[in-house]
Amino acid sequence: MLIVLSPAKTMDFESAVAVKMPALSKSDQKPALIKHSVELAQLLKTQTPDDLRRMMGISEALAELNHARFQDWESPHPSNGSKEALFAFQGDVYQGLNADSFTPKQLEVAQNQIRILSGLYGVLRPLDRILPYRLEMGTSLANAHGKDLYAFWGNAITQELAKQMEINQSRFLLNLASHEYFRSVKRAQLPAPVVAPAFKENKNGKYKIISFFAKKARGTMAAWVIRNRVRTLDKLTQFAEDDYRYDADSSTDKVPVFLRG
């Protein structure tokens, strides 16, 4: 299968990667859609800090920071200042993923099986090197292709995912990304079905999706799939990390439900 994840707003470019990395060439760490990223970065360089503040709904300080980041953005990325995406992104999903515990072989499997959707990079492999940025997929940014990033990316993200699904002979795409990011994917153009698990918590006797826990569970499931080389939906329903359990009664083939509590 192929797994898709969302990126994270929180990033860490200061800490060194603490795990042993597999041997990789520069092409093994170059984002597949970098030409699109260059076009987008050139547009973002023309935005003032005030433009970014309004467009992204962020503070003045964050707008200044990201303005400086876009001014310094260059391709090819320099080794100094760039970092592997899997270790650069922080936040709830990546806490659950806990990539620092991966072996070099598991990182190789992740490089083949995981794709991270990105407003700036489109699609990232886990070990693709990236520069610091902030650009959510839902951002309204007028560009030559339309009014927002969904128009900018068009079919490019879907085509890249479809290509990898065919290489992997994926029986399905495991969607562990948020709605905002997966909106950039055109399901009908994928070569296999999409499976999107739901993670629910018992709150006052009723099961509900609670964002923080659901995000972390997505990362935990992605790591579990990599470690256990999961390939089928039947095997996926055996996921039982962090006290979750598969609930057949409320599940469908496309939305397996996992309950806790």
Q: pLDDT digit of tens for each residue in the chain (261 aa)?
A: 999 999 999 999 999 998 999 988 888 899 999 999 999 999 999 999 999 999 999 999 999 999 999 999 999 999 899 999 999 999 999 999 999 999 999 999 999 999 999 999 999 999 999 999 999 999 999 999 999 999 999 999 999 999 999 999 999 999 999 999 999 999 999 999 999 999 999 999 999 999 999 999 999 999 999 999 999 999 999 999 999 999 999 999 999 999 999
Whether 73 and 41 have beta carbons less than 8 Å apart is answered as yes
- As a whole number of angstroms, the distance between CA 151 and CA 137 comes to 11
Residue 43 confidence (pLDDT):
97
Q: Choose among 213, 219, 216: nearest CA to 97.
A: 219
Please state the domain extents for the chain.
2-260
- As a whole number of angstroms, the distance between CA 69 and CA 87 comes to 19
Distances in Å between the Cα of 14 and the Cα atoms of 35, 74, 83, 147 are: 26, 19, 9, 34
Residue with tokens 């090819």: 76
